[in-house]
Amino acid sequence: MDIKLIQRIDAVNADEWNHVTGTADPFVQHALLLALEKSSSVCRKTGWQPHHLIVYSDNHLVAVMPLYLKFHSQGEYVFDHLWANAYHNHQQSYYPKWLTSIPFTPCQGNRIIIKKGRDPSLITHAIFNYLQEHAEHYHVSSWHCLFPHAEQAEQLKNLGLSIRLSFQFHWFNNNYRDFNDFLDTLRSKKRKQIKRERQRIAEQGIKLITVKGGTITDQQWRYFYQFYQLTYLKKGHAPYLTFEFFKQISNTMPEQLLLVIAELNETPVAMALFFIGSDTLYGRYWGCQNEFSGLHFETCYYQGINYCIKNKLIRFDAGAQGEHKIARGFTPITTYSAHWIKNPQFSKAIHEFIQKEKTSQSSYEDYYQTLLPFKRKPPGTP
């Protein structure tokens, strides 16, 4: 096997890359990673320097792995600031670090994508050996693989990486006929709560429009980016993604985009952008001009649930965090991250931290189960 690092995704032909990744997961598509780079949303200046890893065998691409030299811990959704502070307190450098992740995207997926028919264990082991051997050359303190599927997390654990656990809240489609069929699975109090929230939208005169990627107009994209910026500015920092990023993916992967528009008097007041996978809907970006009662729930959650039911998608991943999702029919699921720390002393301390953290995770899991709104647990959920 021939393993290489490339500093631009377009160093690999898009068809060759996508032949390995397939088209089920929109976030590992060549088009999305290219848009991040061409729009300067990820680059050395923003602290995300691409160093994608590719594996060839007999001159054929057999594996790819998004990889970045990371110079801070922003935009990751797996928080390691305490680790960075510990390094700083001991006059050591935590940055740069290697990060295998989709920038600004806390969605689960295969992070080491291996062509079908190839041995995953063999290739994963070879990649890990390569990263260890080249860590000194790139002056990295560590390698972090964020939001891999459970099977891939287990492979990395077997190689000696520390596995950190967290939670997200996903909605699962139990072959519902329509939205009311889904509501019938909830306890009376929760069902009435959702109906009241949706009724308030109509009472405020707000209409919801769903637009597929290929028909989103330039003016709608401009409204969307204005709202998207406001979401970040309200928190006191600039948005991660540029307008050019959204314009590019609208041209290169429109079939995997869905825009929900909330209008008042035929003027947009809020929007939410979703990505469409083969069996999963991903809620990603939201923004509003003014606050309206229940509008976030309707735009970001209920419209997504309705789309999944109509289009027979199995899962709805509406984004990171948010215990309030449980009352609206979302179920807690475990997410994973894998961590290799080069320094033996820090590696031991961080591993012990992760193990202690798992005790509280178990308590959270028990607590979340008490909050589930269902009359009984639907089949097919974790």
Instruction: Give the CATH number for residue 212.
Output: 3.40.630.30
Is the confidence at residue 17, as pLDDT, over 90? Answer: yes
Q: What is the mean pLDDT of residues 181-193?
A: 97
Confidence of residue 260 (pLDDT cuts 50, 70, 90): very high
pLDDT of the residue at 45: 96
Confidence of residue 359 (pLDDT cuts 50, 70, 90): confident
pLDDT of the residue at 364: 85
Here the tokens at position 63 are: 């594996």
Check whether residue 107 and residue 148 sit in a common domain. yes
Is the confidence at residue 377, as pLDDT, over 70? Answer: no
Does residue 321 lie in a domain region? no
Give the mean pLDDT of the chain.
Answer: 95
Check whether residue 247 and residue 348 sit in a common domain. no
Confidence of residue 161 (pLDDT cuts 50, 70, 90): very high
Check whether residue 182 and residue 157 sit in a common domain. no
Check whether residue 142 and residue 86 sit in a common domain. yes
Confidence of residue 366 (pLDDT cuts 50, 70, 90): confident
The CA-based angle 93-354-157, given to 5 degrees, is: 95
Residue 274 to residue 257: CA distance in whole angstroms? 6
Confidence of residue 237 (pLDDT cuts 50, 70, 90): confident
Does residue 354 lie in a domain region? yes
pLDDT of the residue at 380: 58
Check whether residue 133 and residue 8 sit in a common domain. yes
Check whether residue 187 and residue 85 sit in a common domain. no
Please give the tally of structural domains in the chain.
2
Strand ranges (E), the chain: 2-6, 48-50, 52-57, 60-65, 68-70, 97-100, 113-114, 142-146, 162-172, 206-212, 257-264, 267-276, 280-288, 315-320, 331-341
Residue 347 to residue 342: CA distance in whole angstroms? 7
Does residue 159 lie in a domain region? yes
The CA-based angle 213-75-84, given to 5 degrees, is: 165
Check whether residue 240 and residue 306 sit in a common domain. yes
Check whether residue 243 and residue 281 sit in a common domain. yes
Domain holding 366, by residue range, is 2-167+333-371
Check whether residue 101 and residue 200 sit in a common domain. no
Does residue 323 lie in a domain region? no
Check whether residue 153 and residue 190 sit in a common domain. no
Q: What is the mean pLDDT of residues 148-165?
A: 97
**Considering the entire predicted model, what is its pTM?**
0.95
Place of tokens 């033996």: 344
Confidence of residue 225 (pLDDT cuts 50, 70, 90): very high
Is residue 167 classed exposed, middle or buried when 0-12, 13-18 and 19+ CB atoms within 10 A define those classes?
middle
pLDDT of the residue at 378: 63
Is the confidence at residue 78, as pLDDT, over 80? Answer: yes
